[in-house]
Amino acid sequence: MFELKTVALFLLTALAEITGCYLPLLWIKQGMSAWLLVPGGISLALFVWLLTLHPTAAGRVYAAYGGIYIFTSIMWLWLINGVRPTVWDITGACIAVVGMCVIMFAPRQVD
């Protein structure tokens, strides 16, 4: 159960970060409303707060989070940008998730 909660928290954290970066991109690159900066800023603040909820050393969290961020970014590419990932995109994302699991769930002494 701990593992499932950890992965879910990483996914939520990644969505908050990607959303917070994507909304300003829409304003800058696609000429959409500058008001997108407001929810973008809120999303980035949520991202920072979510990082504080992870139950281990910050450096380990940041390293492991990268694996889920990669996976989430590839899914964003497909679901939001409408670009179907290649087999190499999926393979790389899976490797990154395996790396996250090794970092987060390997046996170790308490932090």
Q: pLDDT (tens digit, 9 = 90+) per residue, 2-24?
A: 778 888 888 999 999 999 999 99
pLDDT score for 110? 62
CA nearest neighbour of 49 among 7, 83, 12: 12
Cβ burial, residue 71 (10 Å; 0-12/13-18/19+): buried
pLDDT score for 107? 84
CB 53 within 8 A of CB 12: no
Task: Say if residue 102's pLDDT is above 60.
Answer: yes
CB 93 within 8 A of CB 74: yes
pLDDT band for position 83 (cuts 50, 70, 90): very high
pLDDT band for position 58 (cuts 50, 70, 90): confident
Structure token digits, residue 101? 């699991």
Query: Which DSSP symbol is given to 32?
Result: -
Cβ burial, residue 24 (10 Å; 0-12/13-18/19+): middle
Task: Say if residue 100's pLDDT is above 70.
Answer: yes
Q: What is the pTM of this model?
A: 0.82
Task: Say if residue 51's pLDDT is above 80.
Answer: yes
